[in-house]
Amino acid sequence: MKKVTGKLKMLLKILSILVVVIIVYVVVALALAYVPVNTDTIACEENCVEVYLYSNGVHTDIVLPVVNNQQDWRRVIDPSKTKAGSTDFSYVSMGWGDKGFYLNTPTWGDLTAATAFKALFYLGESAMHVTFYKSMKESERCKKVFISAEQYKRIIEYVHASFKTDISGKYQHIPNVSYGNNDLFFEAKGSYSMFYTCNSWTNNCLKAGEMKACLWTLLDKGIFFHYK
């Protein structure tokens, strides 16, 4: 009986520690998401580049012009390889995330314990999800931002550095996988974890572009708070 009681006490102690860790994790994550960075950024007024921040309610993307005088994304991401096979697009969204989540979990109902465990503890690979759009419409989940050419240059560099490339420097397309008619998947660098999510990637992209951003965030709400 004493052995059982001792084991029970140990189990309760472990559970208590886990609860405290989870509470601290959530509190810190929420608090840091509302700490702004780049608050002194001057709004662009001339020769601006139009970009968008887009969220599906969980996952954020940064949406960029398909082509302008600084970057033609069609040279590295061929839109004709989408199911639609169209090239008549004006915008392209970039989103980074866990490869297992992306490819094996198109809906939350498809999520498995193994996929979640690998994603949370740095055990999985990552992927870039690229979606083409003919137009963008502003809403609570889609914010338009005008940035300078220099800011856009920094974003281009950040996005490019997130893709894995082959020996010739080409992005590594993941074939036969898509959510719809206008999207593609590519191999990416880095690992998803409970400390670095798809939204952390987007937030770091904003930081790289010297745009308004959170000190650190795991959720889309932290990013959009600074773009009300």
Measure the CA angle with vertex 219, ends 104 and 62; round to 5°: 75
pLDDT over threshold 70, residue 196 = yes
140-186, pLDDT tens digit by residue? 999 999 999 999 999 999 999 999 999 999 999 999 999 999 999 99
Q: How far are the Cα atoms of 61, 82, 103, 118, 180 from residue 111, in angstroms, in the given order? A: 21, 25, 11, 12, 19
Which DSSP letter does residue 109 get? G
Smallest Cα–Cα separation from 95: which of 200, 177, 23?
200
What count of other Cβ atoms lies within 10 Å of the Cβ of residue 123?
A: 14
What count of other Cβ atoms lies within 10 Å of the Cβ of residue 120?
A: 15
**Strand 36-37 vs strand 142-147: parallel, antiparallel, or unpaired?**
unpaired
Q: Would you place residue 30 in the very low, low, confident or very high pLDDT band (cuts 50, 70, 90)?
A: confident
- Given this model, what pLDDT does residue 108 score? 47
Sign of the CA dihedral with 75 first, then 77, 81, and 83 last: negative
- Given this model, what pLDDT does residue 50 score? 97
pLDDT over threshold 90, residue 228 = no
Which DSSP letter does residue 228 get? -
- Given this model, what pLDDT does residue 29 score? 67
pLDDT over threshold 60, residue 202 = yes
Percentages helix, strand, coil for the chain (3-state, rounded to 5) are 40, 25, 40
Element at 118 (helix H, strand E): helix 113-120
- Of 197 and 163, more confident: 163
40-93, pLDDT tens digit by residue? 888 888 899 999 999 988 889 999 999 999 999 999 999 999 999 999 999 999
90-145, pLDDT tens digit by residue? 999 999 998 887 776 554 455 455 555 555 555 568 999 999 999 999 999 999 99
- For the CA atoms of 68, 94, 223, 123, what is the dihedral angle to 10 degrees? -150
**Total-model pTM:** 0.87
